[in-house]
Amino acid sequence: MRLILIRHGESEGNASGVIQGRVDFGLSPAGVREAQATAAFLAACGADRVVTSPLRRAAQTAEIIAGRLGHDAFPMPELMEYDIGDASGLTPGELRQRFPEVLAAAAAGQRPTFPGEEGRDNFAVRLRKALDELAEARGTTVAVAHGGVISSLCHLVLGIGVNRPAAFHVANCSLTEIVSDRSGRLVVARHNDTCHLSGMATFADRG
Residues recognised as catalytic: 8, 81
Phi/psi at 172 (nearest 5 deg)?
-60, 130
Q: 190 pairs with which residues across the strands?
A: 177
Task: Check: CB of residue 200 under 8 Å from CB of residue 30.
Answer: yes
Q: What is d(CA 35, CA 26) in angstroms, rounded to the nearest whole number?
A: 12
Q: What is d(CA 180, CA 18) in angstroms, rounded to the nearest whole number?
A: 36
Q: What is d(CA 84, CA 141) in angstroms, rounded to the nearest whole number?
A: 28
Residues sharing a CB contact under 8 Å with residue 41, sequence separation 6 or more, in sequence order: 196
Q: What is d(CA 58, CA 75) in angstroms, rounded to the nearest whole number?
A: 10
Helix (H, G, I), strand (E, B) or coil at 50: strand
Q: What is d(CA 154, CA 150) in angstroms, rounded to the nearest whole number?
A: 6
Q: Where do the H-state alpha helices sit in the chain?
A: 12-16, 29-45, 56-69, 92-98, 100-107, 120-135, 147-158
